[in-house]
Amino acid sequence: MRLPSTPFPVKKILMVCLGNICRSPLAEGILRSKALQHGLDVEVDSAGTISWHAGHPPDERSVAAGKKSGIDIGALRGRKITTADFDRFDLILVMDAQNYSDVAALARDAGDLAKVHLLLEFAGHGRNDVPDPYYGTMQDFHDLYRLLDEACNLLITRLREHKL
C-alpha cells in the first residue's frame, strides 16, 4: 500500500521510542493486532534510540495496560535502532520530537529521512508527541494505551484506504 505522504509502498513499519520498553512495544503490539484483525499484510517491529534496555522485556506497566485489552506484549524484547533498519522498514514512526532528532541523525540520505515521521502526526491525530510515561503512574500507562489505540486506528484507516 502507498500512502499520500510516502513516495514508497508501506509494508513494514518500525515503531521507535527512547528505551523500547514502554511506548514503542505497546504501539507494536496494538498495530500488529489491528493489522491482523483487518487482514492487512503489514509487518510491525519496534526499537529504541538507546541500548540500555536491549534484551529486556517491556515495562510491566505497558504489559499490564496491553493485557487489559487483550494485547500480549510480554514476549517482546528491547533493541536499539540501527542504520540497517532504514533498509528493513518502509516507515519509521517515532513517539516524540527527541526520538525524531535521534533517528534523523542516523539517516544516511534524504530517502532514509523520508521514512521517519512522528506517529501521531502521520496518523492524523490532533496531538504531536506521545508522552514518555516511564516516571509516571499506572494511569499514565492506561492513557498511553488509549492514545496509541487511537493513533493505530487512524493509521489502519490510512493503510486500508491506500491499499494498492
Residues 105 and 108: their CA atoms lie apart, in Å, by 8
How deeply is 129 buried, as exposed, middle or buried, from its count of CB atoms within 10 A (0-12, 13-18, 19+)? middle
Binder of ligand 4NP out of 18, 44, 73, 155 (CB under 6 A) = 18
13 close to 43: Cβ distance less than 8 angstroms:
yes
Crossing angle of the two packed helices 60-67 and 23-37, in degrees rounded to 10: 30
Q: Which residue type is seen at 73?
A: I
Task: Decide whether 34 or 58 has the Cβ nearer to ligand 4NP.
Answer: 58
Residues facing residue 80 across a β-bridge: 48
20 binds ligand 4NP (CB under 6 A): yes
21 binds ligand 4NP (CB under 6 A): yes
- Residue 39 beta carbon to ligand 4NP: minimum distance, rounded to whole angstroms: 29
- Residue 80 beta carbon to ligand 4NP: minimum distance, rounded to whole angstroms: 12
19 binds ligand 4NP (CB under 6 A): yes
Q: How many residues does the chain have?
A: 164
x/- track of binding to ligand 4NP for residues 26-55 (CB under 6 A): ----------------------x---x---
103 binds ligand 4NP (CB under 6 A): no
The binding site for ligand 4NP (CB under 6 A) comprises 17-23, 48, 52, 132, 134
